[in-house]
Chains A and B, each alone.
Chain A
Amino acid sequence: MVQDQLGNSKKGGDGEEGGRTQEYLTFTLGAEEYAMDILKVQEIRCYEKPTTIANAPEYMKGVINLRGHIVPIIDLRIKFNVGKAEYTVFTVVIILNLGTRVVGIVVDSVSDVTMLRPDQISPSPEFDATVNTKYIKGLGSLDERMLIIVDIERLMLSGEMALVDAATHD
């Protein structure tokens, strides 16, 4: 279902805007709308119950088998304490490909894929978003919507997420 949505919106997008226009996947966390670089997204799939990891933080839901790879699943709703962390048939996991690592995240909902020209993106002021401003690249404005563009790679690999061994990070 989500995949269809993605496909449609891709066709609807204005792709002839020039080389520097980038595609973003938008998703919601609580009341805020976020966007991330589509190139970091490997796939979007339905939520399946992961295998829990002992003594892991609550937002670390566990690991799943993604075609032979063990992939950790992070519920950003729990991490940032927004929305209701319940799992239904509509709950989706965004599988991110961050260089050498593959990580899955659970968000409130995935909206669509949009094109943003550089002039649509303004630098982020110091403001109080759910996600620390350290990981925010800027604000995108699309019609009436405001998109918070998040540097998903930095966010996921940060020490805050405890996804990587502490020794390699802190």
Chain B
Amino acid sequence: MSFDMTQFYQVFFEETQEHLTNMEALLLELDIADPDTEQLNAIFRAAHSIKGSGGTFGFTDLAQVTHILENLLDRIRKGELTLKIEMIDAFLAAGDVLKMLLACHRGNGVANMEEVEAICARLKQLTNDESKPEPESTIAADNTAHTPTTTPASVPAALPAGTWEVSFDLDQNSSDALVTIENLLIEMAQNCSAELLECLSEQGGADKSTCRISLGEDVDVDWVRGLLEFVARSDSIRFKCIGDDSDKVDDGAYGLFSDDDAVSKADTAAAADDSDGYGLFDDFVMPNEAPGGKPPAVTAGSEGDGYGFFVDIPAPDSEPELTATVKAAMPKSASATDATVANPDSEDRRKAPRAGSASTDTSIRVGIDKVDQLINLVGELVITQAMLTQSAQGVDAILFERLFSGLGQLERNTRDLQESVMSIRMMPMSVVFSRFPRVIRDLSQKLGKKVELKTMGESTELDKGLIERITDPLTHLIRNSLDHGIEMPEDRIAKGKQPTGTITLKAYQQSGNIVIEVGDDGAGLNRSKILAKAQERGLPVHDQMTDAEVWMLIFEAGFSTADQITEVSGRGVGMDVVKRNITGMGGRVEIESVMGVGTRMTVRLPLTLAILDGMSVAVGQETYIIPLGYVIESLQASRDMIKSMSGIERMIQVRGEYLPVIALYELFSIPGSLTHLDEGIMVILESDGYKVALFIDALVGQHQVVIKSLEANYRKVAGIGGATIMGDGHVALILDVSSLVRMARATASDTKHIVQAA
């Protein structure tokens, strides 16, 4: 069958990338002491999907690595092997190798086959290390010993009470059956717990197989039937509810087989963990068939081959008593398929990832240009709607009542449409944050530091374009915090701190900005050291510089205070790039630091495409928009509030505070405006913890405005953050309050200079 697979490659690459990311996140979440079965299953599913599609599309190298990875995972999730930190390391490393392979299939870079082999060997080693578990239960060992060695994959185990058992005959020939059943299980697993009990291929009859599946008690029988009808003969589907006292002992002997090949089948072990008290049957293992005995099988053909191994398994004789005791001990609520005891906590925990995975499953991939076009069109629609509303203001509201109600409805619909369209491009910060646990883990191990990462505000949404561009600068800031900020554990203890340092990542929205903070409770920046270094490099510094100015020196190119150059940092490249990147996005970086207490780097990014809540104000003939988030209050100043001070031309006193006055007409040289401070309006603005009073003529109104870039066709203008289109079709400029405030913070004589220079 010649069929052009290449057209699906892109989809495969993206999906695999997603699976890998997902897998990594799950691995890092995993609690080594008490791994959550659901999480293990999710990791397994991710690996399995990669393997499956990798094999299908002919990327056998991907499939091979994943295959070995999957074997190990499979054994862990079945409780045969206890999870160890080395395994997590190996999994993460394998993930990296897979990413590398993926990248080279995409045409970026060359695969390092040595690395691939090394990781395969490492995984195999881990898989084999404990391939002979100590007989934890002699009875079980005895039982299994009776099992014919020709049925390696069959491992007897008990079915918990209150679950469903479904048996059916498959419609297809057996070589496809395995794949079908796996897909089926994955599908079912999204709604309930499902596990394959047994899959019997009728001897000699390759076209018919009988399967039995156990399902959690919460399952919707009709839904399952619906699913099964796709693959099985409907008359063969039988449901059986397993009661407490059922004599289903025979069914307890189920073939918990690994998915698709002889290797994993050979060392498949009991699903149950004896220490939990009810995983009764330890497996027998066929070490001879263990990895290496057979090359990893990845194609459908060999899967079918392996499938032939499954034959009916006689239940061990001594099973009944054992099962009975276990059933009595088993809490009814426990998930049927989970081998470990499901405590309430883990029950709760597994709800969350499931909800998450459901949402990703229903996404579609759309080119970003299409989305952008949509956003532009909606922007146009909003403006048109505003124009309509404005022109309708001239007509009699009573005579044209229906017109007005129609316009009102249009306005609501337009707003809703705009919001939903805007949200398409928005992605939660968790997309970025999720990669940092890995960064911190690797780096802290390398540096021998103990670090805990706390993240807050992962659900804060940011434009996709910015998300992509902020990742690298943020990674750098975090590495910097870890390397320079957090001290070695012994130093921390000496200072009376916890040995484990904390890096805090926080994202939130503040008016038109997204603020991302990277904080650490480390040593803080050393002012004198930075100043000395700066002098050494011939930078114009003096002792009177404010802390903030001194801290900004670390963003100078080639600046590093590190005593020695490490692999991680110290070369002085990077921080300047960070600043350049962030500035390039229209953002800013600020640093706060206290010696011995910690450092906090704050990145402020504009929320592009966002609708901004703005206050429109008039100065002369001009209208300006002030982002509402900065406005604290507006007032009319009386004569006695206005003060003169040396250095700063004018100030006003508002409730005991002296605030510098920025006269917008002066700053922007606008003719024909009010010039006496007590005639117009003072708008008190706050930015970066600093307050100023902005002097304007009058307040006009409050609007939601769409930010349009001034830079697309023109260039950056000092004090202006962007432009918007008002209801009458005219352009109004949006003030960049924080840069206005910065101007006010410079001395009065410098203000003009800044405006002209910028």
Contacts and interface: CB of A to CB of B under 8 A. Distances in A.
Interface of A: 50-56, 62-65, 67-72, 100-103, 162-166
B128 interface: no
Interface in B710-724: 710-720, 723
25 contacts: A51-B622, A51-B723, A52-B670, A53-B714, A53-B717, A53-B720, A54-B733, A55-B669, A55-B755, A65-B725, A65-B729, A65-B730, A65-B731, A67-B380, A69-B713, A70-B712, A70-B714, A70-B725, A70-B731, A100-B712, A103-B713, A162-B715, A165-B711, A165-B715, A165-B716
B712 A69 contact: yes
Given A51-B730, A54-B719, 11 more contacts: A52-B622, A53-B714, A53-B717, A54-B667, A55-B669, A55-B755, A56-B717, A63-B710, A63-B723, A65-B731, A68-B708
Contacts of B713: 63, 69-72, 101-103
Interface residues of B, number: 31
Contacts of B376: 68
B732 interface: yes
Contact of B731 (A63, A100, A163, A165): A63
B41 interface: no
Contacts of A56: 717
A64 B731 contact: yes
B756 interface: yes
A52 B720 CA distance: 12
Contacts of A51: 622, 723, 730-733
A103 B622 CA distance: 22
Nearest to B382: A68
B360 to A, nearest CB: 34
B380 A70 contact: no
Contacts of B715: 162-166
B712 A101 contact: yes
Most chain B CB within a 10 A radius of its CB, from A50, A53, A64, A69: A53
Interface string B698-717: 00000000001111111111
A139 to B, nearest CB: 31
A62 B711 CA distance: 13
A72 B709 CA distance: 12
A69 B718 CA distance: 20
B668 interface: yes
A10 B44 CA distance: 69
B756 A72 contact: no
B379 interface: yes
A64 to B, nearest CB: 6
B383 interface: yes
Nearest to A166: B715
Nearest to B667: A54
A41 to B, nearest CB: 16
Contact of A68 (B380, B714, B716): B380
A70 B717 contact: no
Lowest 5 A-B CB distances belong to which pairs? A54-B668, A51-B731, A72-B714, A165-B715, A70-B723
Nearest to A60: B714
A54 B725 contact: no
Contacts of A101: 712-713
A125 B755 CA distance: 40
A56 B667 CA distance: 12
Contacts of B379: 68
Contacts of A69: 708, 712-713
B717 A163 contact: no
B717 A54 contact: yes
A91 B719 CA distance: 31
Most chain B CB within a 10 A radius of its CB, from A50, A56, A100: A56
Contacts of A162: 715
B736 to A, nearest CB: 11
Interface string B369-400: 00000001001100100000000000000000
A68 B669 contact: no
A50 B723 CA distance: 12
Contacts of B670: 52, 54
Contacts of B729: 65
A55 B718 contact: yes
A70 B718 contact: no
Contacts of A67: 380
Interface string B719-748: 110010100011111000000000000000
A63 B712 CA distance: 12
Contacts of A100: 712
Contacts of B720: 53-54
A68 B376 CA distance: 8
A62 B668 CA distance: 13
Nearest to A100: B712
Nearest to B752: A55
Most chain B CB within a 10 A radius of its CB, from A50, A53, A54: A54
Contacts of A64: 731
Contacts of B709: 70
Contacts of B622: 51-52
A65 B712 CA distance: 13
A53 B725 CA distance: 15
A51 B712 CA distance: 16
Nearest to A74: B714
B669 A54 contact: yes
Contacts of B710: 63, 70
A101 B710 CA distance: 11
A133 B668 CA distance: 34
A64 B713 CA distance: 11
Nearest to B724: A70
Contact of A55 (B716, B723, B756): B756
Nearest to B735: A54
B526 to A, nearest CB: 32
B715 to A, nearest CB: 4
Contacts of B714: 53, 63, 70, 72, 163
A65 B726 CA distance: 9
Nearest to A104: B713
Interface in B272-305: none
A55 B668 contact: yes
A51 B717 CA distance: 13
A52 B756 CA distance: 16
Nearest to A102: B713
Nearest to B668: A54
Interface in B655-673: 667-670
Nearest to A101: B713
